[in-house]
């Protein structure tokens, strides 16, 4: 090493020991360099998971909760107060009956005509058929209809 007017000195064989020290320190740094990227990578994954949890939690927290409407409350009260809750089949039956009644009320002439045609054909119904008809026709409407035709 060419230096000019150098008043600075070093210990004897200093540069030999410096090289050894450098290589030893670099060896230690190399081991750290091997370990820390793995730790860093794991931290990255943990951070991503935490981020998702945080975002999910925030969204969940801010979703408006479903509130019970007055209608729902009435329905609940009705169900609770009904000692014998109606089965779905019975409900469907009731709806069908109501439809039939509506038809009769809406167009009594048509119903009358159909009845007349039945009479004209002298169609005789069996007991089962009658029972079937009675089952689907509201008793009150049928009575009214029969009264009206009498």
- Supply the DSSP symbol for 43: H
Residues 129, 112: Cα–Cα separation, whole Å: 19
Give the nearest distance from C-beta 46 to another protein in angstroms. 24
Closer to another protein by Cβ: residue 21 or 94: 21
Residues 99, 39: Cα–Cα separation, whole Å: 73
**Any contact of residue 39 with another protein (CB under 8 A)?**
no
**Any contact of residue 41 with another protein (CB under 8 A)?**
no
Instruction: Please give, one letter per residue, the 3-state secondary structure of 93-112.
Output: HHHHHHHHHHHHHHCHHHHH
- Supply the DSSP symbol for 122: T
Give the nearest distance from C-beta 65 to another protein in angstroms. 53
**CA 12 vs CA 5, 18, 85, 141: distances in Å:** 19, 11, 104, 125
**Any contact of residue 25 with another protein (CB under 8 A)?**
yes
**Any contact of residue 38 with another protein (CB under 8 A)?**
no
Name the one range near another protein by CB under 8 A: 25-33, 85-93, 103-111, 129-137: 25-33
Judged by the rule CB under 8 A, the positions of this chain that interact with another protein are 1-11, 15, 18-19, 21-23, 25-26, 29-30, 33
């Amino acid at each position: 090493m060419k230096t000019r007017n150098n008043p600075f000195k070093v210990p004897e064989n200093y540069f030999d020991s410096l090289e050894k020290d450098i290589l030893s320190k670099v060896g230690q740094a190399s081991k750290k360099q091997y370990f820390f990227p793995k730790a860093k990578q794991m931290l990255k994954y943990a951070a991503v998971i935490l981020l998702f949890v945080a975002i999910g939690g925030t969204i969940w927290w801010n979703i408006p909760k479903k509130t019970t409407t007055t209608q729902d409350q009435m329905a609940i009260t009705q169900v609770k107060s009904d000692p014998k809750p109606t089965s779905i089949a019975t409900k469907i039956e009731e709806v069908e009956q109501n439809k039939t009644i509506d038809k009769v009320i809406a167009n009594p002439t048509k119903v009358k005509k159909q009845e007349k045609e039945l009479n004209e054909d002298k169609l005789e119904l069996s007991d089962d058929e009658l029972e079937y008809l009675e089952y689907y026709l509201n008793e009150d409407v049928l009575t009214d209809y029969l009264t009206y035709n009498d």
